[in-house]
Amino acid sequence: MSVFVDETSRVIIQGFTGQHATFHAQDAIAHGTNVVGGVTPGKGGTTHLGLPVFDSVEEAVAATGANVTGIFAPPQVAVDALLEAIEAGVEVAVIIADGVPVHDMVRTKRYLTGRSTTIIGPNSPGIITPGRCKVGIMPAHIYTPGRVGVVSRSGTLNYEAVSQMGKLGLGQSTCVGIGGDPVNGVDFRTVLQAFEEDPETDAVVMIGEIGGPQEVEAARWAAEHMTKPVIGFVAGVSAPRGRRMGHAGAVIAGDSDTAQAKLDAMEELGLTVVRNPAEIGTTVARALERAGVRA
């Protein structure tokens, strides 16, 4: 059934009537996504793209049974929109904004305690189950349905991996962009677990970056719990220490969060490691062959 989203997902868009949100909502619908409406405070009762607009997430959920939201609000107000979605009981909340204050996310994750929303992002390209559901800003046409799960921090590196796989005829079950911020929603480990439990996924590509302990923690979990092959890549082997590489979270602080250290740790834990970013696709193909599955 893929992970987090599929054709049964009932999707709303927060910040629905904005320019970017409109563009990506149209693209999502064209990709087969079941978009059931949107939220723009103050514009409730109108329609947009032929769909109902609501003043609040609570109203939208009550009226449409929505269980997934794509948040296209700007970073200064995106966390408020996210908290509103969590409070309304939305199952999956995708937050695209780049530039969300870190302390806002610290509080949001505490707010999540006892609640069950899966947050994807912020600073994320979103999530796509090819041909069935897309909530995000990725170019849908490069993705094809298949049996490899992809999870990455970066959007464009997700596209790069998918494109390399596509040239070899390898499709994807679901692609998740967990975002490039230091404090983010769903982490690598949680996504790996979802892929491990998903009967439609045969292998997983995990694409990390410099900074933070998430990649290695996820690799440790995979080594102990996963039966499916995991292929790991970490960008930034050439990045200098102490300089932030674009993403707020992409900065080397200690010895353990360099790309080299993460790749070495992954390899030690038994993952298939890609050291050349141009070889992600071919490495996935080889790993699938070794595992005796054809995606």
Q: Distances from the Cα of 136 to the Cαs of 94, 196, 238, in angstroms?
A: 7, 23, 29
List, in order, residues 6 or more apart from 34 with CB less than 8 Å away: 7, 8, 9, 10, 11, 133
Tokens, residue 269:
């834990």
272-273/133-136 β-pairing: unpaired
* Residue 88 C-beta: closest distance to another protein, Å: 20
Q: Kindly tell me which residue out of 7, 30, 63, 107 binds another protein, with binding defined by CB under 8 A.
A: 107
Q: Distances from the Cα of 129 to the Cαs of 59, 93, 123, 242, 277, in angstroms?
A: 27, 15, 19, 36, 23
Q: Kindly tell me which residue out of 4, 54, 72, 159 binds another protein, with binding defined by CB under 8 A.
A: 159
Point out which span in 4-12, 46-54, 62-70, 156-164 binds another protein (CB under 8 A). 156-164
* Other Cβ atoms within 10 Å of 28 Cβ, number: 23
Point out which span in 2-10, 45-53, 87-95, 107-115 binds another protein (CB under 8 A). 107-115
Does 166 sit near another protein (CB under 8 A)?
Answer: no
Q: Could you say which residues in the range 193-252 bind another protein, by CB under 8 A?
A: 207, 209-214, 217, 235-240, 243-250
Does 121 sit near another protein (CB under 8 A)?
Answer: no
Q: Could you say which residues in the range 30-89 bind another protein, by CB under 8 A?
A: 75-76
* Residue 100 C-beta: closest distance to another protein, Å: 6
Counting DSSP H helices and E strands in the chain, the numbers are: 9, 14
The greatest distance separating any two alpha carbons of the chain, rounded to the nearest whole angstrom, comes to 57
Q: Does the annotation count 247 as an active-site position?
A: yes
Does 163 sit near another protein (CB under 8 A)?
Answer: yes
Does 26 sit near another protein (CB under 8 A)?
Answer: no
What percent of the residues of the chain are helix, what percent strand, and what percent coil, each to the nearest 5? Answer: 35, 20, 40
Annotated active-site positions, please?
247
Interface ranges with another protein (CB under 8 A): 20, 75-76, 99-107, 109-110, 125, 137-139, 142, 152-160, 163-164, 180, 182-183, 207, 209-214, 217, 235-240, 243-250, 254-255, 259, 275-279
